[in-house]
């Protein structure tokens, strides 16, 4: 008999009929918030148990190893977010500008609903050595990412999008435009207390940069050298 994939084993590890599923859900929610705030390596089982309002014994009951907990978080908390971001409409699959707008909007939606996501993305997913990085990679919809890249390239071939845009880097750039300001907001407020990173302001900023950046414009010419008067 084939063994289920790690994510499924993690989701059901050690469970029995009548187990407190609501406690397990609280535990996952608490763990992901703590990991986003402190980092996985700096978070203890006792902290997770206290935040999730369960005992440390119950943490070990549901997840006998940390790896099982991380598998469950990737499969049950992060994979649904990824699917939601890439849940494109038919119109978006045919129109490059609509596709970009849709991705930005859904990224803003999920970060507004899950404020822990940008920090977790920065700490444990994008950086080399992040403990959720490989687990999240397993859930990336490579076909849809490839289709997005092709629709951008096709729009460029028809003169609808600036040819200087790198189609294979665009999605990464969109992610950074949304995630990085949110993940670093507290740091920047220490430099400038007036910095505000709320949904309306960030949406205007990201849409403005992106839509103008995609537009086909005249090529930028190198400035003429300044002639110095002797």
Domain assignment present for residue 11? The answer is yes
**What is the reported pTM?**
0.84
CA 49, CA 30: separation in Å to the nearest integer?
A: 8
On the 0-12 / 13-18 / 19+ scale of CB atoms within 10 A, 161 is: buried
Residue 4 corresponds to which tokens in the numbers above?
Answer: 């289920």
Domain assignment present for residue 230? The answer is no
Domain assignment present for residue 161? The answer is yes
CATH number at residue 191: 1.10.357.10
pLDDT digits (tens, 9 = 90+) for 42-97: 999 999 999 999 999 999 999 999 999 999 999 999 999 999 999 999 999 999 99
The count of domains in the chain is: 1
pLDDT digits (tens, 9 = 90+) for 136-174: 999 999 999 999 999 999 999 999 999 999 999 999 999
pLDDT digits (tens, 9 = 90+) for 220-229: 444 555 555 5
Is residue 57 within 8 A of residue 74, CB to CB? The reply is no
């Amino acid at each position: 008999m084939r063994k289920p994939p790690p994510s499924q084993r993690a989701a059901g590890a050690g469970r029995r009929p009548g187990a407190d599923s609501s406690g397990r859900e609280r535990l996952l929610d608490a763990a992901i918030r703590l990991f986003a705030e402190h980092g996985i390596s700096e978070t203890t089982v006792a902290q997770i148990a206290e935040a999730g309002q369960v005992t440390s014994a119950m943490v070990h009951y549901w997840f006998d190893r940390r790896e099982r907990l991380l598998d469950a978080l990737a499969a049950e908390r992060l994979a649904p977010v990824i699917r939601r971001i890439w849940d494109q409409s038919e119109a978006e699959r045919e129109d490059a500008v609509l596709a970009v707008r849709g991705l930005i909007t859904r990224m803003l939606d999920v970060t507004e609903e899950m404020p822990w996501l940008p920090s977790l993305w920065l700490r444990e997913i994008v950086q080399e050595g992040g403990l959720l990085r490989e687990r999240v990679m397993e859930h990336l919809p490579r076909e849809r990412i490839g289709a997005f890249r092709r629709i951008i390239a096709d729009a460029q071939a028809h003169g609808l999008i600036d040819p200087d845009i790198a189609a294979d880097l665009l999605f990464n750039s969109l992610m950074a435009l949304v995630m990085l300001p949110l993940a670093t907001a507290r740091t920047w407020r220490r430099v400038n207390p007036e910095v505000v990173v709320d949904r309306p302001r960030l949406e205007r900023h990201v849409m403005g940069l992106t839509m103008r950046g995609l537009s086909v414009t005249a090529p930028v010419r190198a400035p003429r050298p300044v002639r110095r008067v002797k």
